[in-house]
Amino acid sequence: MPYSYLEHISDVGIRAEAETLDGAFESGAEAMLNLIFDLSAIAVSEDITFGVEAGDLALTFVEALNEILFIIDRHSLALKGLRSVKIKQTDGGHLFTGTVFGEPFDPEKHTVKTEVKAATYSGLSYKESEGKHVFECVLDV
């Protein structure tokens, strides 16, 4: 999945891109999860569908990432990725729904690399050009 990390001295920037908007959300989620967990060690036995809403697409991206962080803590899950993303335009902005998947967190099995505290508005952008949807944002780690 196409994503990369951007140099930021105190935190970590992510850049997620895909040919579709849904795909760019999925790339962004994987970029963040790959910072937290060793994704190869996570099997898939559970999934959780969630929704968030925000004023514009970039804010919706941040909301979705932050909700994934909440799900990890609240349900003690090791998450591997995000799928089935749907974005709907609403009166107030954009409604996102998607499904995260993974398995119950087991400290013996799952290597955890970094704690991501939050996705921030810093360096936040969304661009669509030449058939590519690109999100960038800084994660507070």
Partner 1 sequence: MVTPVKESAIEVRRITDYTWEIPRTGDMRVPGRLYADKETVRELLMDYEEKRVGGFTPALRQVANVACLPGIVKASLAMADIHPGYGFCIGGVGAFDIEDGVISVAGVGFDINCGVRVLKTPLTKEDIEPIKETLANQLFRDVPSGVGSTGEIRLKEAEIDELLVKGSRFVIERGYGLDEDLEYTEENGAVKDARPENVSHHAKERQFKQVGTLGSGNHYLEVQWVEEIFDEPAARAYGIERGQVLIAIHCGSRALGHQIGTDYLKILEEASRKYGIPIRDRELVCAPINSEEGRKYLTAVNCGINCAFANRQAISHLTRMAFARVTATRPEEIRLLYDVAHNTCKIEDHDINGEVKRVLVHRKGATRAFGPGRKEIPAAYRGVGQPLLVGGTMGTVSYILRGTEKGMEDCFGSAVHGAGRAMSRVQAKRRWRGTDIILELKEKGIIIRSRSKAGVAEEAPGAYKDVDRVVEIMHNAGVNRKVARVRPLVCIKG
Contacting residues toward partner 1, per CB under 8 A = 5-13, 36, 54-55, 59, 63, 66, 69-70, 72-74, 76, 105, 107, 110-115, 117-124, 138, 140-141
Kindly state the smallest distance separating residue 120's Cβ from partner 1, in Å. 5
- Give whichever of 20 and 43 is closer to partner 1, judged by the CB atom: 43
C-beta closer to partner 1: residue 51 or 55: 55
Q: How far apart are the first and last CA of the chain?
A: 22
Closest CA relative to residue 60, chosen from 82, 87, 26, 83? 87
Which residue pairs, CB below 8 angstroms and at least 24 apart, start in 109-114?
A: 109/41, 109/78, 110/37, 110/38, 110/41, 110/42, 110/78, 111/37, 111/38, 111/41, 112/36, 112/37, 112/38, 113/35, 113/36, 113/37, 113/38, 114/12, 114/35, 114/36, 114/141
Q: Name the minimum Å distance from CB 70 to partner 1.
A: 6
Q: State the DSSP code for 66.
A: H
Which residue, 23 or 123, is less far from partner 1 as judged by CB?
123
Shortest Å distance, C-beta 12 to partner 1:
6
State the minimum distance, in angstroms, from the CB of residue 89 to partner 1: 19
By beta-carbon proximity to partner 1, the closer residue of 20 and 71 is 71
Cβ at position 139, least distance to partner 1 in Å: 10
Q: Which is nearer to partner 1, 73 or 91 (CB)?
A: 73
